[in-house]
Structure 1
């Protein structure tokens, strides 16, 4: 189990780093994960009263309603009320895989990998690129550039109009389903939208009562006390 920690200091500077690797043996139940986490908090002298959030993957042992690590943490009276998120990087990958469009890239990736893996193929490609005066001398991976080397669709359509009208229904359905999936996967972040906006821009105009209610729901703080602090601020 890899445990990362993110801290905010008095001057609002933040630091994030790997805290510890914990080898897990046998069954990784929510109870065991919770026990490991509590041991790390204690051994590393982390002020438990200042914990405000916990991010995990979507495994049942982590997020199970009754016997997941998060459930045990919420039952622990020594821990304050905290926010819990499914890792946004993991969620993004799951949301992307929802599209099921891997057939689009499958052949291209196979060609690129074969060309880049064999030195002869690589030299032949460079020779071809020089011959046609191509701006890139290597086959680019999807992460090598910001996709500016791809032709703009509107330009290609203007150069050669499509013989058949563009059937948008299928693609609209894909995007609509993706939006629903995205909304469901990232709904956890809606819980603290107001709080996050205030942290980023503390002088923004806000509804004090609505903000105080959001703070109470997220962190268990007293509504009246929060409202008074905002007014004094």
Structure 2
């Protein structure tokens, strides 16, 4: 009462201090009197509470779901193990308890990530921003790091509500740097979605990062990349598909937006024994779903024409226009190829060189398509084969494909600037030594002349191959590989996060605080496992200490 806790108990009288001391001694004796079995049960109950909270956050369920889970557990326990029901009753799953557990789990994951960051040889950042339900911008920062042994970690580093006058500098200095202990000297690259707030040349977050790095090391060069998926989506503008898309959207909306029309069209399809049971509908007509919508309408164009003829209250002459149908068929085939590319770019776990390789492959296909269509060869355009294509349209389609190729070349200049660096890592045994940086040429020759390493390269994942190289013999190649393998080629993980965010920050849960949203998103997206034993022990120590 007079040393460590003087300020806490200075207002107590001597009699009250004596009573408090007796209570503390009794609590300690009670704690020590627990048998090992009783302690195991107590810890099991506490761990169950943490595990349930973790599942609730992982599945993006409301915190109040804990009460439903407990009711379900008690019903099950009463049937399966009545003698254990009292233990289940002691599991705390109230809303407030779940909130506290989620906070503890999030902090535990944060400490694990902080420990990993300290081991990173290099790291890269992916930035994006999203507008929430209450029009509050959320800044998302993902970090990907690579260790000396080529172990890769990719995690959500920060989600920050951009309120009032919060600046990018505040976020980086007060949140990322101080909380995770990131060393700017190890930063290799920053990838963004292209928002002016992030990519602005004078006041954007990238400019702040660049200034921060130069202040520490003027010679350090940062690779700035624009999300490869976003760039691919933006390229579609040169195709000029508005005449097709607008008409198809109106037709689909006419059928789907009115209940009577929709029911009558479904009945017509059923009566005609069509393989399709409905037209696809997406009110936003997003690029990802556009190809599927166009294809479905094409497959049902005969049934749609029959249905519109019966209704007679809306006319779509384009459905009988040969040139428009030709444009429609061309649009289906092209959007199909672009949708396939988009799906390939969204595959999980791809390195930057793999994403760039997919784009290069698509660009070569565009040139092939252009040459073949110019020669009236529709081998790779199955839908276009079904219609009559005029010479004027042939020239138009050829020109559009050439323009699309040029747009891809223009938009992917940032990746073209590092293409050789990426190729050196992805294909070291076929890379031209003369094209390699001078400081890597001698090591590259040694590598290419080693038959055993060439055989190993074909049989193991890329990080494992470079991890196995002798660090005395290939130090510079290993360093270069770490820098290229850590790059974010896209911000797709940020886009996935937006979907999780919409579930957790919906209109029904719009009052959730920014800190709690960040905790839930961290738990829902991480690949790390909480240290439940540590959490239980820490909780028990906290509540058993005087």
Q: Report the secondary structure of 1:22's partner residue.
A: strand
Q: Does 1:123 align with 2:353?
A: no
Residues 1:228 and 1:153: Cα distance change in structure 2 (over 3 Å): same
Aligned to 1:101: 241
Aligned to 1:168: 394
Tell me by how many angstroms 1:22 deviates: 1.6
Residues 77-156 of structure 1 aligned to structure 2 (within 5 Å): 77-78=215-216, 80-141=220-281, 142=289, 145=292, 152-156=382-386
Kept in 2: contact 1:57–1:86 (CA 8 A): yes
Residues 1:27 and 1:176: Cα distance change in structure 2 (over 3 Å): farther
Q: Report the secondary structure of 1:167's partner residue.
A: helix
Higher CA-based Rg: 2
Return 5+ residue gaps in structure 1 as ranges: 213-222
Residues 1:2 and 1:177: Cα distance change in structure 2 (over 3 Å): same
Aligned to 2:413: 187
2:198 to 41, 45, 62: 62
Residues 1:119 and 1:19: Cα distance change in structure 2 (over 3 Å): farther
Moved runs in structure 1, 4+ residues, more than 6 A? none
2:433 to 208, 216, 219: 208
Q: Does 1:71 align with 2:207?
A: yes
1:37 to 172, 175, 184: 172
CA RMSD of aligned residues (A): 3.3
In 1, Cα distance between the equivalents of 2:196 and 2:157? 23
Compute the TM-score of the two structures, normalised by the length of structure 1: 0.72
In 1, Cα distance between the equivalents of 2:156 and 2:253? 32
Q: Which has the higher contact order (CA 8 A, sep 6+)?
A: 2
Kept in 1: contact 2:157–2:176 (CA 8 A): no
In 1, Cα distance between the equivalents of 2:274 and 2:148? 53
Q: Report the secondary structure of 1:65's partner residue.
A: coil
Aligned to 2:144: 6
Residues 1:119 and 1:85: Cα distance change in structure 2 (over 3 Å): same
Deviations 1:149-195 (A, max 9, x none): 657335424xxx56x54433333333333322221111100122122
Tell me by how many angstroms 1:105 deviates: 0.9
Kept in 1: contact 2:238–2:400 (CA 8 A): no
Aligned to 1:199: 425
Q: Does 1:22 align with 2:252?
A: no
Residues 1:89 and 1:165: Cα distance change in structure 2 (over 3 Å): closer
Kept in 1: contact 2:280–2:293 (CA 8 A): no
Aligned to 1:218: none
Residues 1:34 and 1:207: Cα distance change in structure 2 (over 3 Å): farther
Deviations 1:72-91 (A, max 9, x none): 32232347422101222322
In 2, Cα distance between the equivalents of 1:6 and 1:84? 15
> Which one has the bigger helix percentage?
2
Return 5+ residue gaps in structure 2 as ranges: 1-138, 282-288, 300-381, 447-472, 475-546
In 2, Cα distance between the equivalents of 1:113 and 1:78? 57
In 1, Cα distance between the equivalents of 2:293 and 2:244? 18
Tell me by how many angstroms 1:104 deviates: 1.1
Kept in 2: contact 1:41–1:48 (CA 8 A): no
Q: Report the secondary structure of 1:195's partner residue.
A: helix
